[in-house]
Amino acid sequence: MTALLFNARNQVWVQGLGTLVAPWRPSWSGETAPDSVANQLDAVWPDAGTPRWVCDLDSPEPRSVYWARLSLPLEADYQPNEEGVWVSLKTLGERLRDAPETLDPIWKTLHPEVRRRAIDIPYLNFGPNEFIYRFRTDRQRNRAIYQDDNTSKALYQSQLCAAIKTLRRLKENRSGAPAALDFGPVVYLLPSHFGFCLGVQNAIERAYEVIAAYPGRRVFMLSELIHNPFVNSDLQRRGLRYLQTDKGRPIEDPDTGLPYWETLSAEDIVIIPAFGATNEDKVRLIEKGLPLNEFDATCMLVEKVWKAARRFAEEGHTVIIHGKAEHEETKATFSNTAHFGPALIIRDFAEAQILCDIIRETDPAKQRERLAVSFVGKYSSCFDPARDLQKIAVVNQTTLLRNETLRIIEQLEEALRDRYGAAALGEHMHTQSRGDTLCYATQVNQDALGKALESPLDLALVAGGTNSSNTYQLYRLCADRLGTRAAYIQSEDNLTAPGRVQHYHFARTPGDPLAGQQEDRTYPWPEGRPVRVLITGGASCPDGVIQQIITRFNSFFPAESLRSIDAVLAELEE
C-alpha cells in the first residue's frame, strides 16, 4: 500500500532528500490489510483526516493508493518527521521531467494519477453535506472590516436602506410589503428585499479580512469578487489584484508584462469569488501549492447547485444547466458537474426548444449533427445525445428567473413524453428538477420587486454592475411592466436631468448589437403631484449606491420643498 499526505497548501509530503542516494519517495508505504488502513495511518499521522482509497496502481508492483489530508490550520508548521519535505505537484512534476533519477520509480506511474485527481485534494476531509463557506449569522458579521474609512462608508452605509431592511425585511427568505419614502415632491418605493444577499456579504467580508490579515503578501482575486465595479475598485484601492477578467482572460502585471498566472508563487494568496471557480482553474492553483479552502468565497447556494448536480450525475442523469455559458458561475457549475457525468448548457427557451428537437429525433447521426452545430462548447467531452439524453435533470444558474427555468423544464418534459410516453416520464426526467436550485435570495428579490411593481409608478431604476445577471433579471421584470420607463443604471451619475436617465443595454445574448451601449431615456415629470419612483438594486449593489441615487434625484427639486430624512424615517416607523 502507498499513502500520500497533503497539507492545507495542497502540497504532498515526500520522504527522502531528493538525491540519487536518497530519492523522494511517497509519504508512506507498507503492507497492511484494507480494513486496517485507517488505524495504521492514524498512528503515523494523528493530525490527518480519515484516509481515502483513491486507486489501484497498475505497476510492476501493484498496490492500492490512499490519500489523507492534515486537519491542521494553514499556519501550522507540521513536519511528519525529519526525513522529508513538503513539495507542490508542480515541483514534483518538474523533478520527474528534469531529474527522474532523484525520485522513486513509482512516481512515474503515481504522479499522473495524482494530477488526474488533483481537484479532490482540498476536499479530502469534507463530508457530502459540508459547505466550503457557510453563511455567517448576523452576530458573526464583520461589517466593520469594510467600513473603516470615509470612502468605504459612503459606498456601503445607508441610513435609509438600513431602516427599510429592519422594518420591512421580516424574514430573509420571504418578501414583504414595499416601503414608501415620501420626500414631498417625490415618493420613492423600495422593495422589502434588495441589494446585498448573504452570499455577497460573506464574500465581501472574506476579501477585506484577507487583505487586512496579510499586509505583506500579494493578494489576488481569481476574477471579480462580485459584479459591482465600485466594490471591486475599493478592493483594488486596498491592494487587491485580479488574475483574470470575468471572461477568463489573463491579466498582465504592468511592471513585467507577464500574466499574473505565470508569476504566482506559494507565498501568494488567491481568493475564489462568490461565483465559484472551474475545476481547471482550481487545479492550476493546487498544482502550484496554493491553499484553496481558507480563501474560497464561493456562495454556499452556488455550491448547493453543485451538490445537486453531483447527486443527479451519480444517479445516472445527464445534467442540463440553464445558464449563460460565458458567466463565471455557469462555467464553474459546468466544470464541476462534468467531473461526475455528462453535462450540457442551455441559455434560454430558444435553445431549450432545439434540445427538445434533438431528444425527439430518433436517428443518432442526426442527433449528433444537430448537437454539434447548436451547442458548440456547451457540452462535456464524449457527450453522446443518443445515450446521454435518455435520462436528464435540470439545474440552473442561481441568478436567473425561476419562471423561465420552470418553463424550460416543462418543455423538456413534453419532449420526453413525446419520445418515451407519458407513463415513462419519471424514468427519464429527475423528479426534483423543478427549479429548486435557484438562489432563494434571487427569488425573494424578484418576489419583493413584483409586489412593489403593483403600485402606480412613473419610473423604475434598477441599480447594479454592467455584467450582473441577477440585476438584469430585475430590470426585465420592471421593463415588462413599465417599458422604457424602466432603466438599468450603475449609479447616480446616470440620472442626467429631471425626466431623463441613461439606460444601460445589458448583453442578453452574444452578438447583441446594442450590448454595452447607453441610451438616453425620458420619463414623465408630472405637475401637481409627486413623482413616483421605484428603486431597487441587484444582489451585488451596495446600500450606499441606493442612497446616492436618492440624493441625486432629490437634487432635482428645491431644497426647501423636500422633507427631511428624519421626518421620512419617522413616518416609515409609524
Together in a domain, 242 and 280: yes
CB 81 within 8 A of CB 17: no
Which of 262, 295, 328 finishes a domain? 295
Residue 533 lies in a domain: yes
- Tally of domains within the chain: 4
pLDDT band at 415 (very low <50, low <70, confident <90, very high): very high
Residues 174, 85 within the same domain: no
Where in the sequence numbering do the catalytic residues fall?
Answer: 329
Average pLDDT of span 456-485: 94
Could you report the per-residue pLDDT of 485-529, keeping only the tens digit for each?
999 999 999 999 999 999 999 987 777 888 889 999 999 899 899
**Distance from chain centroid for Cα 136:** 17
The verdict on residue 138 lying in a domain is no
pLDDT for the residue 172: 66
Kindly tell me if the per-residue pLDDT of 128 is higher than 70. yes
75 and 31 within one domain: yes
Tell whether 549 is covered by a domain.
Answer: yes
Q: What is the DSSP letter of 41?
A: H
Work out the average pLDDT over 536-553: 95
13 plus 96 within the same structural domain: yes
Residue among 55, 94, 23, 109 nearest 287 (CA): 94
> Residue 18 belongs to a domain with what CATH number?
3.90.79.10
Q: Is residue 409 part of a domain?
A: yes
The whole-number pLDDT of residue 60 equals 67
Main-chain dihedrals φ then ψ at residue 209, nearest 5 degrees:
-65, -40
Helices 469-482 and 440-452, packing angle to 10 deg = 20
Mean pLDDT of 173-202: 91
Is residue 26 domain-shared with residue 75, that is, in the same domain? yes
pLDDT value at residue 433: 63
Per-residue pLDDT band for 339 (boundaries 50, 70, 90) equals very high
CATH of the domain at 322: 3.40.1010.20
Q: Is residue 557 part of a domain?
A: yes
Counting Cβ atoms within 10 Å, is residue 103 exposed (0-12), middle (13-18) or buried (19+)? buried
pLDDT digits (tens, 9 = 90+) for 11-31: 999 999 999 999 999 999 888
Q: Which three cell numbers stand for residue 567?
A: 421626518
Kind plus residue range of the DSSP H or E element containing 208: helix 198-213
Residue type, 184: G
Which domain-ending residue is among 258, 280, 295? 295
Among the residues of 384-502, which ranges form H helices?
385-388, 402-420, 425-428, 440-452, 469-482
Which residues on neighbouring strands pair with residue 182, listed in sequence order?
187
> Does the residue 133 lie in any domain?
no
Q: Please state, in angstroms and rounded to a whole number, the distance separating the CA atoms of residues 304 and 299.
A: 9
Handedness of CA 58, 59, 62, 65 (dihedral sign): negative
* Structural domain of 48: 2-123
What is the DSSP-derived secondary structure letter of residue 299? -
The secondary structure of 50-89, three-state, reads CCEEEEEECCCCCEEEEEEEECCCCCCCCCCCCCEEEECH
- Whether residues 175 and 305 fall in one domain: no
> At 268, which CATH number?
3.40.50.11270
Asked if residues 6 and 290 have their Cβ atoms less than 8 Å apart, the reply is no
CA 8 – CA 86 distance, rounded (Å): 11
Distance CA 35, CA 450 (A): 58
The bridge status of strand 318-322 relative to strand 392-396 is parallel
For residues 352-369, give the mean pLDDT: 97
Which own/partner pairs from 28-34 qualify as long-range (CB within 8 Å, at least 24 positions apart)? Answer: 28/2, 28/3, 29/1, 29/2, 29/3, 29/63, 30/1, 31/1, 32/1, 34/64
Q: In 10 A of CB 255, how many CB atoms? A: 7
Q: What is the mean pLDDT of the chain?
A: 92
Q: Using CA atoms, how far apart are residues 189 and 181, in angstroms rounded to an integer?
A: 6
Are residues 450 and 470 located together in one domain of the fold? yes
Q: What is the DSSP letter of 438?
A: S
| pLDDT at residue 164 tops 70 | yes
Mean pLDDT value of segment 49-74: 87
The mean pLDDT of 255-265, rounded to a whole number, is 94
The answer to whether residue 435 scores a pLDDT higher than 60 is no
Lowest mean pLDDT among 330-344, 390-404, 432-446: 432-446
Phi, psi of 435 (to 5 degrees): 75, 15
Model pLDDT, residue 315: 95
Considering only 125-134, 158-167, 408-417, which range has the smallest mean pLDDT?
158-167
pLDDT, average across residues 241-263:
93
Domain boundary among 411, 438, 465: 438
In the chain, the percentage of residues whose pLDDT exceeds 90 is 71
The predicted model scores a pTM of: 0.90
Return d(Cα 2, Cα 372) in angstroms, integer: 43
Closest listed residue to residue 490, CA positions, set 555, 540, 551, 557: 540
Q: Which of these ranges, 220-234, 349-363, 502-516, has the smallest mean pLDDT? A: 502-516
Domain for residue 128, yes or no?
no
Give the pLDDT confidence score for residue 166 in this predicted structure: 80
Quick one: pLDDT at residue 562?
A: 97
Q: How far apart are CA 502 and CA 461, in angstroms?
A: 10
CA neighbor of 318 nearest in space, from 430, 435, 436, 431: 430
Among 394, 398, 544, smallest CA distance to 469 is for 398
pLDDT-above-70 percentage for the chain: 98
What phi and psi values does residue 107 have, to the nearest 5 degrees? -65, -25
Using an 8 Å Cβ cutoff, are 408 and 349 in contact?
Answer: yes
Q: How far apart are CA 201 and CA 297, in angstroms?
A: 10
Q: Is pLDDT larger for residue 106 or for residue 36?
A: 106
Residues contacting residue 218 through CB under 8 Å, at least 6 positions apart: 241, 267, 268, 269
- The C-alpha cell of 418 is what? 413525446
In a domain? residue 493 = yes
CB-based contact 86:9 (threshold 8 Å):
yes
Same domain, 252 and 345: no
Q: Choose among 473, 477, 506, 510: nearest CA to 489.
A: 506
Q: Residue 563: pLDDT band by 50, 70, 90 thresholds?
A: very high
**Residues 450 and 554 grouped into a single domain:** yes
Q: Report the distance separating Cα 247 and Cα 242, nearest Å.
A: 12
pLDDT(197) > 90: no
Alpha-carbon gap, residue 363 to 196, rounded angstroms? 49
64 contacts: CB under 8 Å, gap ≥ 6: 1, 2, 34, 53, 55, 56, 57
Question: Same domain for 422 and 456?
Answer: no
311 and 409 in a single domain? The answer is yes
Identify whether residues 308 and 432 lie together within a single domain. yes
